[in-house]
Structure 1
Amino acid sequence: MDAVAMLKADHRKVADIFAQFEKARGKDRKQKLAEQACLELKVHTILEEEIFYPACRRVVETDMLNEAYVEHDAAKLMINDIEAGGPDEAFYDAKVKVLSEMIMHHVEEEEKRSEGLFSLARAAGLDMDDLADQMRARKKTAMARLQGHPEIPAETHVFHGEDNAFALAEAPMRRRGGGLEMQEAR
């Protein structure tokens, strides 16, 4: 799989998790699915923001990428709210539904046939196989770290420039500057 195929596979996986959430009845099942979606989205965001988007910035319109970063920031806030709550809260299901809708809009923007970020990146001739190799390696460390495996060292993750760096941890995200960062575990 090349980089675009990997990102699209992530999109489909998260869409499937959201569809399962919509059909789920038990609170424990709903919480497990919501947490799974949040984890997958965090890792996907890391891949896009650390590897794919920086590669695209050289060849794709800046406004399109800026909108993608802002959409990620909005999703991170919702992920934070979902992870901080639980299925017993009055708005839990609504928050997961809104996150799902936000993500589906974001996916549409990236996957548009001729005008989407993925099409433009391919047309610009980015090395999708090299990006995929980088993304596979990063996905492994990000997933392990976010799942709380302490033997994986914390990496520095940059969202919108060096001034917005954060240490990757299993803690929630918070606002900082123009983007979001992970909060340090206390």
Structure 2
Amino acid sequence: MGDSGDVIAELTSDHREVEELFSQFEGTPPDSEERKRLADEITIELVRHAVAEEEHLYPAVREHLEGGGVLADREIAGHERVEQLLKELEGRESGDLEFNRLMVKLRTEVTAHVRDEENDLFPRLREGVHSFILESLGRKVREAKKSAPTRPRPSAPSTPPAIKLLAPGLGLVDRTRDFLTGRGQGRP
């Protein structure tokens, strides 16, 4: 995904990439291998993005924004809904009617989450947090995505310190499993 800039630019770049993957998904025929591959790509990107936000962005939101605890909790609840949908998708074939229903639900949930972040959270961060901190968070988020898990785990912890301790190990397991199965090949 993104490779430079502050946390807002980084996460906005992630949002555009996932939107593009959803568009590609919608342009593929039902029951195609390409559709399943794109669903896997969407899952990988959403999980990596969510873990990086939970490790670094939301703790900063709690610390630096008035009412940040409530805001962070709301965003994490959105992540939990997305992760549950991703978990339900796991292992389903692209021709399965439930697969298609879940993908529509997933896109709806992700679109609402992105809109909320970009229209509410990001402007509040831009206004209330020093640019140095936003730049530092951007670097931390980029680094976190490199070692983040790639598979959904709705019951895993979503707040530090547990997520910071568990995510790299789970990420290694996931990337090994992805390599062995060919899932997400061609991605960083």
Partner of 1:128: 134
Matched, 1:71 2:70: no
Instruction: Output aligned runs, 1:86-105, within 5 Å.
Output: 86-105=93-112
One-letter code aligned to 1:117: L
Note closer, same or farther for the CA distance 1:28–1:75 as it changes in structure 2 (3 Å cut). Answer: same
Higher strand share: 1
Instruction: Output aligned runs, 1:53-68, within 5 Å.
Output: 53-60=58-65, 61=67, 62-68=69-75
Structure 2 portions without partners, runs of 5+: 176-188
What is the RMSD computed on CA atoms of the aligned residues?
A: 2.2
Distance (Å, rounded) in 2 between the aligned partners of 1:37 and 1:51:
21
Cα deviations by residue, 1:141-173 (Å, 9 ceiling, x for unpaired): 22xx639xxxxxxxxx851355677452429xx
One-letter code aligned to 2:105: V
One-letter code aligned to 1:91: E
Matched residue pairs, number?
157
Which of 21-30 and 31-40 deviates more?
21-30
Matched, 1:36 2:41: yes
TM-score (norm 1): 0.77
Partner of 2:186: none
Partner of 2:183: none
Distance (Å, rounded) in 1 between the aligned partners of 2:113 and 2:44:
17
Cα deviations by residue, 1:72-109 (Å, 9 ceiling, x for unpaired): 00000001111231213221111111101100000111
Partner of 2:32: 27
TM-score (norm 2): 0.76
One-letter code aligned to 1:66: D
Partner of 2:158: 159
Which of 31-40 and 92-101 deviates more?
92-101
Distance (Å, rounded) in 1 between the aligned partners of 2:98 and 2:90:
13
Percent of aligned pairs with the same amino acid: 25
Distance (Å, rounded) in 2 between the aligned partners of 1:70 and 1:119:
20
